[in-house]
Amino acid sequence: MFRWTFSELFAAPQQLLASVAAVAGAFALVLFFEGVFAGESGQIVALIDKTEADVWVMQKGVGNMHMTTSFVADWKIDAIKDVEGVKKVTPILYLNSVIEAGGRNWLSFIVGLEAGDTRAGPWELASGAAIPGPGEAILPDVIAADTGLAIGDTVRIAGREFTVAGFSSDTFSMANSITFVTMEDLGDTMSSIGSVSYLLVDAKPGVDAHALAGRIMDQVEKVNALTRQEFSDRDFSIAVQMGLEIVWMMTLIGSALAVLLTGFIVYSHVSDRERELAVMKALGVRDWAIYLSIMTQALVIGLLAFGLAVAVVLLAIPLTDAFAPKISLGLTVDALIRTGAMAVIVSLLASIIPVRRVLSVDPVTAFQQ
C-alpha cells in the first residue's frame, strides 16, 4: 500500500506539478498579505519601538500618537526627573503633517528633537547628517528615491521650508513616514511655546516600568504615563482601525481562496482515482489503509505547495525592497505556522470527503465500469 501511495502520486508528474503550483499560488498570496500586514504594522509603531524608552509620558487623556495631539508643559520635565527611579527624560515635539517634496504631498510624522540630542532621532541613517540642525530636516530615503531629492534640496513641511540634511532608513510605510527636525523649528511651526508633546523616560537599572509609570502619574499632575509596550499596543490598535484592517481583510480573502483551491485540487486528485480505490476495496484492502494512503497523498501535495509558496515569498522580499520600496514586507514565524497549519488541515479534510464517497459505493461496481 505504501508503494502504491507514492507511485500513484508521482505517476503523472505534470499533473502533480500543476496541482502543487496552483495550491502554492494561493498560499503565496496568503503569505504575501501576511507579510505586508506584518511589515506595515511594524513600521506604524517603529518610532515607539525603536526609541526604546521605558515609559512614555503625554497629556492626560491621550493614549496614542496616531491622529492625536499632546501638549505637556515643559516645567513638568524637571518634575518627572525628580520622580524616584527616573534616569533620563527626553522631550520631543510631534505633529501629523504633510511634506511637499518632488511635486507630491507625503503624510508624515514630524518629530522635533532637542538640539544635539540623538535619543529620539533616526535609528538607522542612509546618508547625510545624523541629527538635524536649525532649518534642516532628515527625511526617509524612500521619499528621496521616489522623488530624486538630494541633500541640500528644499522641502516644505507644514507650510515652512526646510533644507534636506540627511536621509534615514526604516522610517517609511504606506501609511506614514517619519521626518526629523529640531524642536525649536517645529515649535515655531506649531506656535507651541512652553510645551512639548511627549516625554521619553528611561528608568534606572532594576526599576519596573509599570511601577515607574504609576509613580509619575501620582506625582505629576495632568499627565498620562504608559510603558513602551502599552503605548505601542494602543497605537497599533488605532493604526489598524485607520487602514491596516484593509490589509487584514485581504489576508482573510486570500486565506479563503487558499482553502477553496486546496480543497478543489485535492478533491479532484482523489476523485480521479475513484475506480482504483473501489478496486482496492473489492480486493480486500481495509478502509483505514485507503484513508491513510489518500490522506498521505493529499498531505504531500499540501506540504509541497506550502514549501513552494514560502520559497516564492522569500524571493519576493528582496525584489519588493528593490522595486517597490514603499511596501514594507516581512515574513514572521507566526505567519509561517498559521499558513503551514492551514495547508495540513485543509489537505487532510479535503481528502476525507471523496474517500468516504468512494468507500460507500459497492466495490462490485468497479468491475462493471
3-state secondary structure 68-123: CCCCEECCHHHHHHCCCCEEEEEEEEEEEEEEEECCEEEEEEEEEECCCCCCCCCC
Task: Express each pLDDT in 84-114 by its tens digit.
Answer: 999 999 999 999 888 998 888 888 899 999 9
d(C-alpha 233, C-alpha 228), whole Å = 9
d(C-alpha 147, C-alpha 345), whole Å = 47
Tell the residue number behind the cell numbers 516625554, with chain if given. Answer: 199
Are residues 128 and 72 both part of a single domain?
A: yes
52 C-beta neighbours (distance < 10 Å), count: 11
- Select from 172, 137, 167 the least CA-distant residue to 46: 172
State residue 221 phi and psi, 5-degree precision: -75, 150
Contacts for 186-189: CB closer than 8 Å, 24+ residues apart = 186/93, 186/95, 186/110, 186/111, 186/112, 187/93, 187/112, 188/160, 189/95, 189/157, 189/158, 189/159, 189/160
Residue at 229 is within a domain: no
Position 354 pLDDT exceeds 80: no
Are residues 250 and 217 both part of a single domain?
A: no
Domain final residue, candidates 189, 221, 253: 221
Are residues 214 and 353 both part of a single domain?
A: no
Please report the beta strands in 118-158, taking only residues with DSSP state E, as ranges in sequence order.
125-128, 136-140, 154-157
Are residues 80 and 197 both part of a single domain?
A: yes
Measured CA to CA in angstroms, residue 294 lies from 3, 128, 269, 274, 311 at distances of 12, 61, 9, 11, 26
Residues 6+ away with beta carbon under 8 Å from 189:
95, 157, 158, 159, 160
Hey, which of 118-122, 204-208, 334-338 has the most confident mean pLDDT?
204-208
What pLDDT does 113 receive?
95
Mean pLDDT, residues 281-299: 75
Residue at 237 is within a domain: no
Cross-strand partners of 203: 86
Find the domain containing 201 and state its range.
61-221
What residue type is assigned to position 122 of the chain? Answer: P
Residue at 65 is within a domain: yes
At 199 the three-state DSSP class reads strand
Position 82 pLDDT exceeds 80: yes
What pLDDT does 224 receive?
97
Domain final residue, candidates 190, 221, 252: 221
Residue at 233 is within a domain: no
Cell of 289: 489503509
Task: Express each pLDDT in 18-46 by its tens digit.
Answer: 888 888 888 888 888 777 777 777 777 88
362 C-beta neighbours (distance < 10 Å), count: 10
Residue at 49 is within a domain: no
pTM: 0.72
Q: Do β-strands 136-140 and 160-168 pair in parallel, antiparallel, or remain unpaired?
A: parallel
Task: Express each pLDDT in 121-180 by its tens digit.
Answer: 999 999 999 999 999 999 999 898 888 899 999 999 988 999 999 999 989 877 678 999
Residue at 51 is within a domain: no
Q: How many domains does the chain have?
A: 2
Are residues 67 and 215 both part of a single domain?
A: yes
Are residues 67 and 118 both part of a single domain?
A: yes
Are residues 133 and 216 both part of a single domain?
A: yes
Are residues 67 and 208 both part of a single domain?
A: yes
Domain final residue, candidates 187, 206, 221: 221
Are residues 205 and 267 both part of a single domain?
A: no
- Select from 18, 15, 34, 4 the least CA-distant residue to 339: 34
What pLDDT does 158 receive?
86
Residue at 234 is within a domain: no
> How many separate helices (H) and strands (E) can be counted in the chain?
12, 12
Are residues 76 and 211 both part of a single domain?
A: yes
What residue type is assigned to position 102 of the chain? Answer: G
Residue at 56 is within a domain: no
Cross-strand partners of 178: 109
At 158 the three-state DSSP class reads coil
Are residues 124 and 157 both part of a single domain?
A: yes
d(C-alpha 184, C-alpha 113), whole Å = 8
Measured CA to CA in angstroms, residue 30 lies from 47, 67, 117, 258 at distances of 28, 30, 42, 7
Are residues 161 and 205 both part of a single domain?
A: yes
**pLDDT grade, residue 368 (50/70/90)?**
low
Decide if 113 contacts 183 (C-beta within 8 A). Answer: yes
Q: Please indicate whether residue 164 or residue 9 has the higher confidence score (pLDDT).
A: 164
What pLDDT does 8 receive?
65
What pLDDT does 94 receive?
93
